Structure 1
Amino acid sequence: MENQTVQSLKIGSIKPDPGQPRKSFRVQDISELADSIAKVGLLQPITVRPSGKKFIIVMGERRYRACKMLNWKSIPCMVRELDEDAILEVQIIENLQRKDVEPVEEAEAIAMLKTKFTPEEIANRIGRNKKFVYARIKLSELIEGFKAFVRSKEMTISQAVTVASFPAEEQHLILEGMGKDFKERYVQNACNRQAFDLEKAPFKTDDATLVAKVGACTLCPFNSINQGSLFGDGKQICTKSSCYATKKTKTLLNLIDEVKKDGRLLIPKFRTYNSDSQDNQLILSIMEENGLEIHLLDDMDILTEPVKPTAESIRNEYHWQDWTDEEVNEELEERMESYNEEVEAYANAPEHGYLKGVIVDPNTYVTEVALMKAEEETIPDVHALPIDKKRMDDCTPTEKIQKMNTREVRKKELENNKQFQDVIKMVRESEYHNTKKTLSTDEMVAFCFTLFENHLSWYSQRDFFKGFLGNTEKKSRAEVVEQFRKNFKKEYFHKLIRFVMARQVHFGELNHTNNHVNIAFYNAVRPYLKKDIEAIEAEYEEKRIKREKRLQERIAKLERENELLKSA
């Protein structure tokens, strides 16, 4: 049995452990603890281990620092004989059980425990749930550049865990692209671009042979389901974009081999007018390099297998309309008639020269089977072409006037774009933002449109601000703005600000006691909803009182045990 005793040791014979996982100690916290010890005494001895003629702290460095601050000459200590592994384990778990532990430091400590325990065992030892432990393990993989933003609380824990889900090299790319200051929206957009929903992948996620050196996605550490479901329960998100891109390309190359062997057609899913985009050019070059004849959607008459309509699909399509069962059934009957005709046409298509083929999305490489045949070539009738497709020399005088007017309209649009950009650039570089005058009506109108268009979802506009802009039917955008300005009341401005404020607060580990935005908002809404807020506060206070009562009972029991140890 381990030898341990409680002794009063000279503070001068005790020193902190340089290998202690906890690195940060706030002077203010130590000072407050010293005040508490001065009033009620040291309720629990610190734990030390012998080291020659000295003793090294295992647990209780904060209490040790507070007692030194009080100029105590000696301090009650529990002396324990521990090996190096046990010391580290005890220190880490003791630190993790504190409430004020810094998140990055906490993550690094949990990562150290992972070498000896499973996440489930760690969760049990520190009194946390398994998902919390998985998140902290992932947070430990955050690169140093982002850890600084977590420590300064500019970056939330959830944002940090999302970024940490990506390989270090991709984290560095995000950091370099963001610049010196933390930009939440930039980071969020970058993460969205580099995260891929594996349920929508064009390949089988359990295929270990597709790219043999990386294996199956289902076992990959960069699959979120293997990171403690950080993106939601059961959600499979790939966070290694380079690997995902490699598997996508290999899938396309395998598909090309299959269609060449079977003599089928492979058609990229786009038309000639948008063939210049990066994704579209890439897939065309891959197809050409592998000896495929290029056909686009324009060139082919394509039949895809009909999808049978259902009442549920109709309700989803028209979710914004409150249709009765009778209306849904009427629509379903009409669609079933069309569906039956399409099924018959699809079944008889091979008799009319249609061949089996595959349509591939140039962005995702997701495919769909279809029947297709080349459209018959016809000699174009110049006079039947739309005016915008005709050369000026082929137009009649009336068409030339129309073509010239259309070009002038386009020139004005481009000119307006450039003029607006020049004005805004000048405004941003001016001292406009330092103007001390109260906001004008026009400025409030402008801010209303900024909030309405940029911060309200379509559902919020519909559910909470229906008719907010007035009747906009048959009105140009300029007329809508002028109408809103003409009927403007400050209460519109205030309503929008209050609505947006309520949706801009932070959740997670930020609350009404530790975040500027949340504290300010909590104070702002109290006068309006005082009784409701007080009811919630009372409920939480009741739980808190019960918990603290149980805590005091446990402390009292431990103090009695401590007295028995001293008298032993």
Structure 2
Amino acid sequence: MENQTVQHLKIGSIKTDPGQPRKTFSEQGLKELAESISEFGVLQPITVRKTGKTFTIVMGERRYRACKLLDLKTIPCMVRELEKDAILEIQIIENLQRKDVEPVEEAEAIAMLKTKFSPEEIATRIGRNKIFVYGRIKLSELIEGFKHYVRSKEMTLSLAIGVASFPAEEQQMILEGMGGDFKERYVQNAINQQAFDLAKAPFALDDKNLVPKAGACTLCPFNSANQGSLFGDGKQICTKSSCYATKKTKNLLNLIETVKKDGRLLIPKINKYALDSQDNQLFLSILGENGLEIHLMGDMDILNEPVMPTEQSVRDEHHWRELTDDEVKEELEEQMECYSEEVETYTNAPENGFNKGILIDPKTCNWEEVYLRHKEIAKIETSAVPIEKKKMDDCTPTEKIQKMNDREIRKKQIENNKQFEEVVRMVRESEYHNSKKTLTTDEMVAFCLVLFENHIGWHNQEEFFKGFLGKSGKKDAAGVVEEFRKNFKKEVFHKLIRFVMAREVHFGELNHKNNNVNSSVYTAIRPFLTKEFETIESDFEQKRIKREKRLNERIAALEKENEMLKSA
């Protein structure tokens, strides 16, 4: 049985616990507590444990600090014998029950308890609900660069928890993208762009074999449903964009193989007017590289499976005006007649030259089964000669106009090519590169596009720089550049340089000790990831020490053997 008698111990014999989870103490709060103790005394004894000839505080460090401010010689104490695990648990729970606890410190403390208790048990012990506990557990995973903004209250807790839902490497990308100052809107946009609603995923969430290393989304820690419903009850949001993109691509490749095997057509939801969009071009290239014949929606007659109308669907369709019950009934009857005709057409589709195929959204990769048929194209007389192969004298006036316009377009292209080549050659031979002036915005824009187009592959563009050029699908090159320039920020320039720099190093026989590029990159990046660098360096240093020790032992043995041979 522990002795629960209050003892007045000398303050000099008491020390603080370096393992105490609480690290911050308000100076003003300590002064106010000292004033209270000066007037009324210590109303509640502190709790300590015996450690050799001294005592270590378990609970009551604020009271202890306030007494030291008053230069008191003793303080009332309860001496208890406690196991190390129990001490930490008591300290954490006591601190979490305070009202003024700092959120990041609170999150780190709850994360410590998570190793021993479930979130529900923690909630019960500290008198909070489980949503609060799940949120703090997630907040504990926020990288150090963002914790600073939480402590300074520049960053709201809800936004911080949103960022903490992403893997550390993606958090770091968001942090670097901000530049030097905190930008709330930038962070929120980054979250929106990198979070995916799994209810709209084109693949089965419980499929653990789609990408075996990733496993099923239903069990993934980056599924918000497994993080305490941080995005709303029951809502499943993926916060690991690289994994989502990999699964989406793998699912698409599986679908392509299936339609090839079945001999069906796969038609992307792309019209001719959107054909030049970069995203659409990339999607079409994937289809082509995997052996599919390319068709657009405009090339096909498409029959979707009819959906039976209901009273609710009628009301939803006419939500902009209030329909009476009779009006709804009348509209529903008309729609049912159309529905019956659509069902008949859909049922008889195979007899009218339609075949089953797939219609797919290139952005989301969601697809549906439809009936497809090539549109009838008017046959051109075999004797007809293409305009470009006709001589000018053989053309009609209309054809001559077209031929002249085509020639002028081609001449402008050739002229522009020559002009550009001449300008660049002149620049290369000039003193432009010796200019000591700071880079202009236009120069930084140009360098960004040089890096983006020439040094970053398609997959990295999709994974790390999605939306980099904005909504530029319908613009020509000059329009794309102008829009990019208009929205340009220096942090984009910095992000690109850092991204390319980390990928333009040399592996193999070259390393940071024998190659200028590798050495400079190693030195430049080290301050950003000091702890990670030190961990890796330490691991390799230990290996070297062990290896050199074995080597020295072998050399010493051989030298000894050599001495023995000499003296023999």
TM bin, normalised by shorter chain, reads 0.5 to 0.7
Query: Over residues 155-198 of structure 1, what are the superposed CA-to-partner deviations in whole Å (9 max), with x where a residue is unaligned?
Result: 11111111100000111111111222221111111101111111
1:200–1:56 distance in 2 versus 1, CA, 3 Å: same
Instruction: State the distance in 1 between where 2:212 and 2:18 align.
Output: 45
Distance apart, 1:309 and its partner CA = 1.2
Provide the residue aligned with 1:142 in structure 2: 142
Corresponding residue number in structure 1 for 2:200? 200
Aligned to 1:187: 187
Q: Distance in 1 between matches of 2:243 and 2:192?
A: 16
Quote how far apart the aligned CAs of 1:251 are: 0.6
- CA–CA separation in structure 1 for the residues paired with 2:184 and 2:159: 8
What is the aligned partner in structure 1 of residue 548 from structure 2?
none
Structure 1 unmatched runs, 5+: 382-389, 396-413, 426-568
TM-score after normalising by structure 2: 0.67
Say if 1:225 and 1:236, in contact at 8 Å, map to a contact too.
yes
Distance 1:392 1:198 in 2: 56
Hey, what's the Cα distance between the residues in 1 that align with 2:123 and 2:240?
27
The reply to whether residue 8 of structure 1 matches residue 8 of structure 2 is yes
Give the secondary structure class of the aligned counterpart of 1:208.
coil
The separation in 1 between residues aligned to 2:2 and 2:211, in whole angstroms, is: 53
- Deviation track 1:194-221 (CA, whole Å, cap 9, x = no partner) reads 1111111111101111111111100000
Partner residue, 1:560: none
Structure 1 partner of 2:125: 125
Partner SS, residue 207 of structure 1: coil
CA contact (8 A) 1:45 1:75 kept: yes
The separation in 1 between residues aligned to 2:330 and 2:30, in whole angstroms, is: 74
Could you tell me how far apart the structure 2 residues matched to 1:319 and 1:235 are? 26
Q: Which residue of 2 aligns with 1:174?
A: 174
Equivalence for 1:242: 242
Match of 1:393 among 401, 412, 431: 401
Structure 2 residue matching 1:101: 3-state secondary structure: coil
Does 1:66 pair with 2:66? Answer: yes
TM-superposition CA deviations, 1:514-566 (whole Å, max 9, x none)? xxxxxxxxxxxxxxxxxxxxxxxxxxxxxxxxxxxxxxxxxxxxxxxxxxxxx
Q: Report the alpha carbon displacement of residue 151 of structure 1 after superposing the two structures with TM.
A: 0.6
For 2:273, the aligned partner's letter is Y
CA deviations on 1:481-508 (whole Å, 9 max, x unpaired) are xxxxxxxxxxxxxxxxxxxxxxxxxxxx
Residue aligned with 2:24, SS? coil
> Aligned with 1:64: secondary structure?
helix
Q: For residues 327 and 25 of structure 1, what CA distance do their matches in structure 2 show?
A: 69
Alpha-carbon distance in 1 for matches of 2:277, 2:146: 34
CA offset at residue 264 of structure 1?
0.6
1:70-97, CA deviations, whole angstroms, 9 ceiling, x for partnerless residues?
A: 2211110111111221111111111001
Q: Distance in 2 between matches of 1:314 and 1:146?
A: 49
Partners of 1:67 and 1:272 lie apart in 2 by 80
Contact 1:301/1:372 (8 A) holds in 2: yes
Tell me how far apart the structure 1 counterparts of residues 375 and 224 of structure 2 sit (CA, whole Å): 46
How many angstroms apart in 1 are the aligned matches of 2:66 and 2:379? 93
Q: How do residues 80-479 of structure 1 correspond to structure 2 at under 5 angstroms?
A: 80-378=80-378, 393=401
In the aligned structure 1, how far is the partner of 2:116 from the partner of 2:2?
21
Number of aligned residue pairs: 398
Shift, 1:318, TM fit? 2.5
Letter in 2 for 1:393: I
Whole-Å separation in 2 of the counterparts to 1:147 and 1:392: 70
- Mapped to 2, the partners of 1:55 and 1:333 lie a distance apart of 86
User: Match for residue 462 of structure 2?
Assistant: none
TM-aligned CA deviation for residue 330 of structure 1? 2.1
Q: What residue ranges of structure 2 are gaps of 5+ in the alignment? A: 382-397, 404-475, 488-568
Q: 1:375 to 1:184 in 2, by over 3 A?
A: same
Cα distance, 1:62 vs. partner? 0.8
- SS of the residue corresponding to residue 357 of structure 1 reads strand
Separation in 1, partners of 2:209, 2:42: 63
Alpha carbons of structure 1 residues 241 and 347: separation in structure 2 relative to 1, 3 Å: same
SS at match of 2:267: strand
Letter in 2 for 1:363: K
Query: Cα distance 1:184–1:333, how it changes in 2: closer, same or farther (>3 A)?
Result: same
Q: Secondary structure at the match of 2:50?
A: strand
Q: Report the secondary structure of 2:154's partner residue.
A: coil
Aligned equivalent of 1:459: none
Q: Find the counterpart in structure 2 of residue 34 from structure 1.
A: 34
What per-residue deviation string (whole Å, max 9, x for no partner) do you get for residues 211-243 of structure 1?
A: 111111000000011101111111111110111
SS at match of 1:49: strand
Distance in 2, Cα, partners of 1:318 & 1:79? 75
Instruction: Give the letter aligned to residue 325 of structure 1.
Output: D
Q: Which amino acid aligns with 2:31?
A: S
- In structure 1, give the amino acid aligned to 2:122: I
Q: Give me the whole-angstrom Cα distance separating, in 1, the residues matched to 2:227 and 2:165.
A: 8
User: Which residue of structure 1 aligns with residue 454 of structure 2?
Assistant: none
- Report the Cα distance in structure 1 between the residues aligned to 2:197 and 2:328, rounded to whole angstroms: 32
Task: Rate the CA distance shift 1:189–1:58 in 2: closer, same or farther, 3 A.
Answer: same
Note the C-alpha offset of 1:322. 2.2
SS at match of 2:76: strand
- SS of the equivalent of 2:348 reads helix
Amino acid at match of 1:31: K
DSSP-derived class of the 1:228 partner: coil
Q: Which amino acid aligns with 2:401?
A: D
| 1:46 aligned residue | 46
- State the partner residue of 2:514: none
Question: Deviation of residue 391 (structure 1)?
Answer: 9.3
Partner Cα distance (1:176, 1:242) in 2: 18
Superposed displacement of residue 141, structure 1: 0.1
Contact 1:8–1:76, Cα closer than 8 Å, also in 2: yes
Identity, % of aligned pairs? 72
How large is the Cα RMSD of the aligned pairs? 2.6
Deviation at 1:51, TM superposition (A): 1.4
CA deviation profile, 1:103-130 (whole Å, cap 9, x unmatched) = 0000000001111111111111111111
| Larger CA deviation: 314-323 vs 159-168 | 314-323
The CA distance in 2 between the partners of 1:257 and 1:120, in whole Å, is 46
Measured in 2, the distance between the counterparts of 1:3 and 1:393 equals 108
Assess, with a 3 A threshold, how the Cα gap between structure 1 residues 193 and 392 changes in structure 2: closer, same or farther: farther
Q: CA deviation at 1:326?
A: 2.0
SS in 2 for 1:340: helix
Q: Comparing 128-137 with 269-278, which one deviates more in the overlay?
A: 269-278
Larger deviation, residues 269-278 vs 118-127: 269-278
- Give me the TM-score of the superposition, normalised by structure 1: 0.67
Paired letter, 1:74: T
2: CA distance between counterparts of 1:370 and 1:119?
Answer: 47
Shift of 1:319: 2.2
1:4–1:81 Cα contact (<8 Å) kept: no
d(CA) in 2 for partners of 1:227, 1:318: 39
Q: Match of 1:308, as an amino acid?
A: M
Q: 1:379: Cα distance to partner? A: 5.7
What corresponds to 2:391 in structure 1?
Answer: none
1:75 maps to 2:99: no
What is the Cα deviation at residue 3 of structure 1? 4.2
How far residue 276 of structure 1 moved from its aligned partner, in angstroms, is 2.3
Q: Report the alpha carbon displacement of residue 8 of structure 1 after superposing the two structures with TM.
A: 0.5
Paired with 2:223 and 2:85, the residues of 1 have a C-alpha distance of 32
- Higher alpha-carbon deviation: 124-133 or 318-327: 318-327
Q: Distance in 2 between matches of 1:45 and 1:233?
A: 44
Equivalent-residue separation in structure 2 for 1:162 and 1:245 (angstroms): 20
